[in-house]
Amino acid sequence: MSRLIRNAVSMLLVMTLITGIAYPLIATGVAQVLFPHQANGSLIEKSGKPIGSELIGQYFDDPKYFWGRPSATTPQPNNGTASNGSNLGPSNTALRDAVQQRIDALHKADPGNGAPVPEDLITASGSGLDPQISPAAAQYQIARVARVRKLGEDQVQGLIVKYTEGRQLGLLGEPRVNVLQLNLALDQMQTTR
């Protein structure tokens, strides 16, 4: 019996060293060498300071900025430590109320916009952290952003085109626009004018 216990303890120690120490160190080292930007959180920096990540959405509600997809995370929006969806179904009144509040906020920020509101501006994603919106959601907001910033709609449209990412490998996903990068480009455009 003591031989079985000794073998079991030895195997536990060996597997702990392999899977608990060696493998994570090797995987981290390979990631740092081959994909350092991604391994360090895909951070976006401004003046040498990190201000966000390409992978986690940020909350914008100022009319001069493009607004991202709503977040279902708590206690604050786009909380990376609380990634989750709302789990509310289409028949849930809380979801219908939240969607209506989001539509009302968009209409209040841009009362002259009579276009249908794109779905991704009023519904949260499964993770609640999406950093991108669809090109249609960006197009919906052009007039408001241009008017508030006193820019031409064609200038804002050009930024959307510049920051629209295509399908991955030409096949996977849908075209999308990173909201933080687009808003930073808008800020940069205004400071260089």
What is the band of 193 on the pLDDT scale with cuts at 50, 70, 90?
low
Q: Tell me what percent of the residues of the chain surpass a pLDDT of 70.
A: 97
* HSE-CB of 123 using CA atoms within 13 angstroms: 13
**Average pLDDT for residues 12-18, to the nearest whole number?**
96
Residue 182 has pLDDT above 90, yes or no: yes
pTM for the model stands at: 0.80
Residue 192 has pLDDT above 70, yes or no: no
Query: pLDDT (tens digit, 9 = 90+) per residue, 99-109?
Result: 999 999 999 99
**Average pLDDT for residues 40-63, to the nearest whole number?**
87
Question: What gap in Å lies between CA 100 and CA 116, rounded to an integer?
Answer: 13
Query: pLDDT (tens digit, 9 = 90+) per residue, 113-165?
Result: 989 999 999 988 777 788 999 999 999 999 999 999 999 999 999 999 999 99
